[in-house]
Amino acid sequence: MKKLLIAAMLLVGIASFAQDADQKPAREHKERMTPEQRNEKQLQKLTSELSLDANQQAQVKQLLAERSAKAEKFKEARKDQKDSNTKPTAAEKADFKKQMEDEVAANDAKMKSILKADQYTKWKALQEEKKDKMKEKMKERREDKI
């Protein structure tokens, strides 16, 4: 009888240990970088992946700074709206979506004017890859919440 009890306890212990191993560890909190640090990191990444020359680096750096400033402005407006507990209407959501699409198109056009044809093609491929990764992460998060 003792052997049966010990075997059962051992089996329960192994099963609970196996379940713990399947669970993903909690996401580590990364250090928050300043917008300037993020821009610099992104510029370095683009420089290495696209082989940017000095003139292109300066133009891309300026573009990243402009984009970052606009993003910060949008973030502040969103935070103010959230703090006031007002939900955006459907028209406001559609307007915001249109505004974001216009920003993306303008950024795309500026990058096209800065980069050479082969660099632009590679940049678009990198953008698509990044988009796919984000979709995958969002899918995983939704599955984790369920």
Structural domain spans, the chain: 35-145
- pLDDT score at 40: 92
User: Model confidence over 114-139: pLDDT tens digits?
Assistant: 999 999 999 999 999 999 999 999 99
User: Model confidence over 1-58: pLDDT tens digits?
Assistant: 777 667 667 666 776 665 544 455 555 666 788 888 899 999 999 999 989 899 999 9
Q: Helix 117-145 vs helix 35-50: angle between axes, to the nearest 10 degrees?
A: 130
What sign has the CA pseudo-torsion 48, 51, 54, 56?
A: negative
| Pairwise pLDDT comparison (14 vs 73), residue with the higher score | 73
